[in-house]
Amino acid sequence: MKNLLFSFIIVVAIGCLNCFGQDDLVIIDQGAIYTEGMAESTLEIGLASAYVDRGQVINDNPVLQPQLTLSQYNYSLNLWANYDLGANMDNVRNAISEFDIAFAYSLPVDVNQMAIDVGLINYNYPGNGDSSNPSTTELFLSSTILSFQNLFTPSITMYADIQEYPGVYFLFDIFAPYELSEYVGLVYGFSAGYGNTSYNDEKWSVNPSTSNNDAGWTDFNLYVNASYEVSDTLTAAASLNYMSLNGSAFETAASAIGYQANQIIWGAVNIAYDF
């Protein structure tokens, strides 16, 4: 969820990108859905062919990813889950392997067409077989430049763990909208992840206590999302994504840890209902 949750938080919280002449952009983990005015409550479900998290291929089999979003004024609350239909890297299947709670606040400022958002995400792992994967919490700070939103929208988000794992992860993203019709739109984009030394030691080594990884770029991603507004309250979407790790060091670490791929193409379909 971490890779694209930042986009959901940034855009839903500010609610002002006006992509395709509409009011709100809702990112649904592996896909994007555009709605004509975000309701205070949105129920969403996604079916993805894989679960990829910050370059880590947790599951290369199909997963279900439902979520519920509550938003009002500058605040938003998001509940998200991952249900593994096929075996993940811990050989867990037909179970919820992750449940996240995210809270975001969009600062009521307009600094040179820049939106600033802050919040926290609590990660929980109820079903992970014999692996030890304790819950943890991250603080995040994001900045989105809106000056060129009709052409492209760049953003940067910083995640810092405050509970279980040391390290800071930065996600850089840029996407561009393309309107096919009043009800159909496309978004295509690129994102890249960067971890500091502590983060890369923790996430990209078999034994973090003895690792000495350098800070650096970890993963690169390309994506395209298509959406169709079925009605005022129902929107469907599909996405195609590509992820590649940055070089042999991360590829070797991924294999040693047990991540299921070094690079992957995966897709997703999503549906969202506003009520």
Token pair, residue 198, equals: 């502590």
Examine the pLDDT at 227 and tell me if it is beyond 80.
yes
More confident residue, 139 or 28: 139
Specify whether the CB–CB gap between 177 and 19 falls below 8 A. Answer: yes
58-72, 86-100, 198-212: least confident range: 198-212
Range from 4-18, 117-131, 133-147, 222-236 carrying the lowest mean pLDDT: 4-18
> Can you tell me the mean pLDDT for 19-39?
39
What band does 132 get if pLDDT is binned at 50, 70 and 90? low
| Integer Cα distance of 23 and 179 in angstroms | 14
Q: 92 or 30: whose pLDDT is higher?
A: 92
Q: What is the pLDDT of residue 164?
A: 86
The answer to whether residue 208 scores a pLDDT higher than 90 is: no
- Give the containing element (helix H, strand E) for 269: strand 263-274
Q: Considering only residues 112 and 203, tell me which one the structure prediction assigns the higher pLDDT.
A: 203
pLDDT for the residue numbered 33: 41
Q: Nearest CA to 202 among 192, 217, 219, 215?
A: 215
Residue 242's beta-bridge partner residues? Answer: 222, 265
> Is residue 166's pLDDT more than 90?
no
What pLDDT does 12 receive?
Answer: 39
Strands 216-229 and 234-245: antiparallel
Average model confidence (pLDDT) across the chain: 86
pLDDT digits (tens, 9 = 90+) for 113-130: 889 999 999 999 986 655
What is the structure's pLDDT at 260?
96
What mean pLDDT do residues 199-227 have? 91
pLDDT at res. 129: 53
Q: Got the DSSP string for 195-232?
A: E-HHHHHHHS-S-GGG--PPPEEEEEEEEEEEEEE-SS
Cα 210 to its chain centre, rounded Å, is 30
If one compares 6 and 102, the residue with the highest pLDDT of the two is 102
- Rank 62-66, 73-77, 126-130, 207-211 by mean pLDDT and report only the highest: 62-66
Contact of 165 with 202, CB cutoff 8 Å: yes
Q: How far is CA 177 from the centre of its chain?
A: 18
Count how many Cα atoms sit within 13 Å of the Cα of residue 31 in the half-sphere of its side chain: 31
Two structure tokens written together for 247: 């070089």
User: What single string gives the DSSP state of each residue in 96-120?
Assistant: EEEEEEEEEEE-S--SSSEEEEEEE
Indicate the class that CATH gives domain 2-274.
mainly beta
Domain boundaries in the chain?
2-274
**pLDDT of the residue at 131:** 56
In the prediction, which pLDDT does 63 show?
A: 98
Residue with tokens 């969820």: 1
